[in-house]
């Protein structure tokens, strides 16, 4: 049932862009390290950059496991599954990289996300994933569920933060600057938000 693709285009790209959420899996190199699996949402926070590259906005949170693992080894899998329509699962296995606010690529990357205002969410990085393997499989066991709307809690919570208070928030969290396994996580203090 599964098929391997050379590129993210056509029907595959349409499927990825239509999903309201996706999942990101990473792990440290250490065999006894903590595997991380994160759900990601907010419509417009993911973009297909080209036929082998996807990117998503990484917002404020209470840990930074994905960033830590990507900084250590770059291995990542991104997965989308259909909760409505035909039962499909798509995975992009590849190499990921966190791009931070002081990176010269930052302004160009943000242009790929025209439908979302990152400011209320405490945007801390853009995660860029280059595909090594692109596959789909059946999603026969994935339940049918309806998408109502994005939650507004994240935006409401972090809208009251500025660069300094957001850096202080992150500094107070145990697993933001350093991962659960002691790997370097989010570089602190955060670089200032570039003017747009």
Average pLDDT of the segment spanning 107-122 = 90
Whether the CB-CB separation of 66 and 86 falls below 8 Å is answered with: no
Rounded CA separation 76/83 (Å): 22
Residue 76, H or E segment = strand 75-81
Q: Quick one: the chain helix, strand, coil %, rounded to 5?
A: 20, 30, 50
Average pLDDT of the segment spanning 138-161 = 94
Taking residue 63's Cβ as centre, other Cβ atoms within 10 Å add up to: 19
Q: Residue 1: pLDDT above 90?
A: no
Rounded CA separation 12/134 (Å): 10
Q: Residue 187: pLDDT above 90?
A: yes
The domains of the chain are located at 3-171
pLDDT at 135: 98
Taking residue 124's Cβ as centre, other Cβ atoms within 10 Å add up to: 26
What band does 2 get if pLDDT is binned at 50, 70 and 90? confident
Mention the CATH class of domain 3-171: mainly beta
Q: Residue 103: pLDDT above 90?
A: yes
Rounded CA separation 1/89 (Å): 11
What band does 82 get if pLDDT is binned at 50, 70 and 90? very high
Residue 67, H or E segment = helix 65-72
pLDDT at 118: 75
């Amino acid at each position: 049932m599964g098929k391997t693709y050379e590129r993210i285009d056509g029907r595959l790209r349409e499927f990825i862009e239509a999903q309201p959420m996706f999942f990101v899996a990473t792990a440290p190199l250490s065999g006894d390290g903590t595997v991380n699996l994160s759900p990601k949402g907010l419509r417009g926070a993911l973009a297909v950059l080209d036929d082998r590259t996807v990117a998503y906005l990484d917002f404020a949170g209470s840990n930074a496991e994905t960033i830590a693992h990507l900084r250590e080894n770059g291995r990542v899998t991104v997965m989308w599954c259909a909760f409505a329509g035909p039962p499909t699962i798509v995975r992009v296995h590849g190499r990921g990289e966190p791009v931070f606010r002081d990176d010269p690529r930052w302004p160009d990357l943000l242009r790929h996300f025209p439908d979302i205002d990152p400011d209320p969410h405490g945007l801390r990085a853009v995660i860029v994933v280059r595909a090594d393997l692109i596959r789909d499989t059946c999603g026969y066991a994935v339940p049918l569920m309806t998408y109502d709307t994005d939650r507004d809690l994240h935006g409401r919570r972090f809208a009251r933060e500025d660069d300094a208070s957001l850096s202080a928030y992150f500094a107070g969290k145990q697993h933001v600057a350093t991962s659960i396994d002691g790997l370097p996580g989010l570089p602190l203090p955060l670089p200032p938000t570039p003017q747009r």
